[in-house]
Structure 1
Amino acid sequence: MIHLTDKNSPLHEKLEIGLLLAIVGGFLDAYSFLCYGGVFANAQTGNMVLLGITLINGDYVHFVHYLIPIIAFSFGILMTECLLKYLSGSFYIWVLITEIVILFIIAFLPDGIPQVIVTAAISFMCSIQIGSFKKICGAPYTSTMCTGNLRSAMGLLFVAISAKDSESLVQSLRYLAIILFFCIGAAVGAIFVDWWGKLSVLICCLLFFILLLLMIKDIVHIRRKQQQLADVIKK
């Protein structure tokens, strides 16, 4: 029987966490594209293609429209790498709190706010997610885009078939599960945008809150185990 989960992985690398993050990633791409002028929150490759097209067409207003989210995304990655170097295990807690706060504010921004500010904020938030949650069950992945995951899934599937390697098959299925949940998130995002408009991003806040509770529970459990071990050593 194939088991996709890995009980030995830290919580932030477990499959179920990756699946929830993938749902959010797909949701936010659909949300930003539908609500804010066709800009992708996560897929900066798409924004770069559109950036080049607007530059060639001399459409400098939309050029800036795509450039600023790319800059915000880049800055978020740099900041996340810096914080990861100096902060302790509570880093993931603060990441989720930051994402909840940013999205909650975005949900209630007035309509007069320039779209580029909102898309930059979402891109910044997504870059923090990418920079923080880098692995699933020990393997590198991205929860906010699918190209790299698809490449990894198909490469591992080839190894699984050609070498009859069951571990490669498991890893391939994990990547495919992430891709599936990303697509589900995009579909759900499109549905809720149609129903609730800009307020639909509160669904992501709810998912991040669930992740936050799981992280806090895990940290409390680890610290309790450490304290029990310390008490045993003292005796």
Structure 2
Amino acid sequence: MNKRAKEKLVVPFLLALNAGFIDGFSFFHFDYRFIGMQSGNVIQAGISIAKGSIINFWDFAIPIILFILGVITRGFYSYYLTQKGRFEFSSLILLQLSGITILTTIFALGVDLSATLYVGLFSYFMAIQFDAFSKIRELGYSNIIMSGNIKSLASNLTQYILTKKITYLQATRIYMGLIISFFAGIIISVTIGTHFGKWTLLGSSLVLCLVFIITRSEEKMSL
């Protein structure tokens, strides 16, 4: 994976924005299921089992399973790209962009698939984003689940207060940026969702298209 493209700060912020955007939509339009944040689906699946509702359990379990398959697919595809000497970063983004765009179009045109299957298929492509892009400037981060970023923000802020080292302050700013981006994605999605309905998820395609343009241009500059 090209380091220059990977460490462009705007990229993780845009990916966090995309995650908030797509989960903000799925929570309200797909009966409290999540496309990206699978921990929420795990909780709901556990509650369904506790209530004795096997049908509801599968509503949440299927997206989890397809998310796992997405991670596996990403692993094989990354290996193929590496063997062929191709840029991994932009190729993975292009795959996610294509999948999200096609699925959104099918969904918006009213193709009769269950909400569970739609969520699962979207989760399959979101797994690419979650698993492939996990570091920025040597800092581990998540662009889908914010709980780890919140913990890292608090930890680095504490260390900065204690030591006054600028590196901890810089890390704090990065984690804060990720959280704010995710939060902004939710607000934008819910706000425009009332106007664009099922076509709202094309907003995710626009964000991913921007990420692809940025990363591809950075990769070309490294040649």
User: TM-score over 0.5 for the alignment?
Assistant: yes
1:23 corresponding residue in structure 2: 17
1:92 corresponding residue in structure 2: 89
Three-state SS of the structure 1 residue aligned to 2:36 is coil
Q: How far has the Cα of 1:86 moved from its partner? A: 4.2
CA contact (8 A) 2:12 2:136 kept: yes
2:132 corresponding residue in structure 1: 132
2:206 corresponding residue in structure 1: 206
Q: How far has the Cα of 1:79 moved from its partner? A: 2.5
Three-state SS of the structure 2 residue aligned to 1:10 is helix
1:67-146 to 2 correspondences below 5 Å: 67-88=61-82, 89-109=86-106, 110-146=110-146
1:59 corresponding residue in structure 2: 53
TM-score (norm 2): 0.91
Instruction: Give unmatched runs, 5+ long, in structure 2.
Output: none
Aligned-pair RMSD on alpha carbons?
1.4
The 2-side partners of 1:53 and 1:150 are apart by: 25
1:154 corresponding residue in structure 2: 154
1:6 corresponding residue in structure 2: none
The 1-side partners of 2:152 and 2:25 are apart by: 27
CA contact (8 A) 2:16 2:179 kept: yes
TM-score (norm 1): 0.87
Q: One-letter code of the match for 1:67?
A: A
The 2-side partners of 1:128 and 1:24 are apart by: 13
CA contact (8 A) 1:34 1:193 kept: no
- Selected match of 2:36 from 42, 57, 77: 42
Instruction: Give unmatched runs, 5+ long, in structure 1.
Output: 1-8, 224-235
The 2-side partners of 1:145 and 1:213 are apart by: 24
Three-state SS of the structure 1 residue aligned to 2:113 is coil
The 2-side partners of 1:176 and 1:14 are apart by: 16
- Quick one: percent identity of the two aligned structures? 23
Q: How many residues were matched structurally? A: 215
Q: One-letter code of the match for 2:95?
A: T
Q: One-letter code of the match for 1:136?
A: I
CA contact (8 A) 1:108 1:199 kept: yes
Q: Considering only CA atoms, is the larger Rg found in Structure 1 or Structure 2?
A: 1
Q: How far has the Cα of 1:87 moved from its partner? A: 2.1
